[in-house]
Structure 1
Amino acid sequence: MSKVNRHRQRLPGWVQVLASAVFLGTLFFTWWFFTHFLNVESWIFPTPEAFMQRFIVEVQRTQLWEAVAVTLLEAILGSLLGAAVALPLAYCIYRFRFISAAIEPFLGVTQAIPAIALAPLLVLWFGYGLAPIVFLCAMLVFFPILIATTIGLRRLDQEIIEAAVLDGAAGLVLLKNVEIPLALPAILGGVRNGFTLSITGAVVGELVMGGNGLGSILTAQRNAVDTVGMFVTIALLCTLAMIFYGVIYFFERRSKLVNLD
């Protein structure tokens, strides 16, 4: 086996779990050392012990899980909306040169405008509630999915495409049976990054526009200078993002294995 193949070979599951556990343990040890030996005030940076005690208390509160459900709903709806726009547009950019020439120079605009600057405009257009937050999430999700899908389609093996066309595949048949399966790893990579950003969109939306999710809890904790509570809420947000990332990464890995077969 060549060095390249050995490098690309996937590590066993237990090794990956062990590596993650070692990394997490290192973070907690650094945190513990930092807070215990550098005399950091607890209201600035709480200790791991205080964090864990508060975490255990918070996860037993029904209100917290209701907020988690709201944030998840906003993120999922925003992700689906962003993907529903980005995926067809990416295919049009890949397939039609005129659309590509017209749209691509302006794609950077979607990233040049800060999300927090768009939030007040969304309130004016859609009012308060679920809709503006979902649209904000969709705007954050849109760009990474669009770019990854466009690149994935453009990097398809043209010999395979030409062979499929010679066999009679065209239009939707070619897209469904050849182009999408081949580009699926790249598409899922963009979806993975985009869906993870949707959590950020939901929180930013709630911080600016209000709501009943984790962003509103984070706002209340900030106003009360509840640093420990903020750490707990941020940890939950990180966990949600990791779950999104991990689930889509699982399907991404499966799609790569299918393509190899």
Structure 2
Amino acid sequence: MLPAVVLAVAILLAWTWGAGRLGAVLLPAPSAVVRALGELAATGDLWPAIGATGGVAAQGALLAVVVALPLAWLIVHSRPAAAALEPYLAASQAIPAVAIAPLLVLWFGYGPGTTALLAALLVFFPIVITTALGLRGLDPEVLAAARVDGAGTWRLLRHIETPLALPQFLAGLRAGVALAMTGAVVGEFVIGGRGLGQLLESQRTRNDTAGLFATLVVLTLTSMTAYAIVRLLEQRAARMTER
């Protein structure tokens, strides 16, 4: 905890020094950002924007989970499926989200559903990979013993694979929540919406640098909160697995 506090103090000191050298237009002082944050909260626009972006990000993460989990299971249990799908999964990471967004608009139109789909595409890959690694890392002797006891595919999935691979899945989800927020904000830039992305765009057009920094602070804190929640769930799942 102490190193993190020391780093935060060092960043604030460097930030204050840089703001004095560069000027408020390029780099507002921390005090100016705090004032902008207070003004933003006073307007009543902040919480609805957080809710809009967080809601779209959550929808995208949920969609990614629904698709990624069965696909990860299929990749682990079917060599032809793994050989066919894994190269395309890896190649998909070379395409930036900004390049995908216009295509999604062309296919699905404007709206929060399209933005959620963009967020899902970003979250999808880490969940597939970490879940597949978790399933592949299960003790073969445990699986063999369960099969000897008469466990079929469904019982193995429910009682062995799901509990033991849960920490790996949550690790992928933990990495994905920040990407979901990124996808939601990028989507709001390109597709439109009422969230933090549109708030950033509005502040950019007004050259409101302090407001931009304030919104970025809010976005960072929101992502960190979601990350911490999933991290707690991951630690709890890991403790349950060790019992």
TM-score normalised according to structure 2 size: 0.96
Helix, strand or coil at the partner of 1:104: helix
Q: How far did residue 218 of structure 1 move? A: 0.3
Which structure ranks higher in relative contact order (CA pairs < 8 Å, sequence separation ≥ 6)? 2
The answer as to whether partners of 1:110 and 1:139 remain within 8 angstroms in 2 is: no
Name structure 2 gaps, 5 residues minimum: none
Q: 1:85 aligns with which of 67, 72, 82?
A: 67
Deviations 1:119-160 (A, max 9, x none): 111111111111110110010010111111111111111111
Q: Deviations over 1:177-227 (max 9, x none)?
A: 111111111110001111220000000001111111110010111111111
Per-residue deviation, residues 23-65 of structure 1 (Å, max 9, x unmatched): 32232222123323xx111110010111111112212331221
Q: Aligned to 1:232, which of 214, 220, 226?
A: 214
Q: Residue 113 of structure 1: CA displacement?
A: 1.2
Q: Does the 8 Å CA contact 2:72/2:128 hold for their aligned counterparts?
A: yes
The equivalent of 2:19 in structure 1 is: 35
CA distance in 2, matches of 1:166, 1:27: 58
Within 5 Å, give how 1:1-261 maps onto structure 2. Answer: 16=1, 18-36=2-20, 39-261=21-243
Alpha-carbon distance in 2 for matches of 1:170, 1:153 = 16
Give 3-state SS (helix, strand or coil) of 1:200's partner.
helix
Deviation at 1:22, TM superposition (A): 3.3
Paired residues, number: 243
Structure 2: distance between partners of 1:30 and 1:166: 63
State the distance in 2 between where 1:167 and 1:139 align.
39
Question: What displacement does 1:109 show?
Answer: 2.6
Q: Is the 8 A contact 2:189 2:198 kept in 1?
A: yes
* SS of residue paired to 1:60: helix
DSSP-derived class of the 1:59 partner: helix
* Structure 1 residue runs without a partner (length 5+): 1-15
Distance of 1:220 and 1:150 partners within structure 2: 41
Do the aligned partners of 1:87 and 1:145 also contact (CA within 8 Å) in 2?
yes
The one-letter code matched in structure 2 to 1:23 is: L
Distance 1:119 1:105 in 2: 22
TM-score using structure 1 length: 0.89
How far apart are the structure 2 equivalents of 1:20 and 1:247? 19
Contact 2:18 2:27 in 1 (8 A): no
Once the two structures are TM-superposed, the CA of residue 19 in structure 1 deviates from its matched residue by: 4.3
| Separation of aligned partners in 2, 1:99 and 1:233 | 43
The one-letter code sitting in structure 2 at the alignment partner of 1:25 is V
Counterpart amino acid of residue 66 in structure 2: A
Instruction: Give me the CA root mean square deviation.
Output: 1.3
Question: How many angstroms apart in 2 are the aligned matches of 1:170 and 1:60?
Answer: 58
Q: 1:148, 1:187 within 8 Å by CA — same for their partners in 2?
A: yes
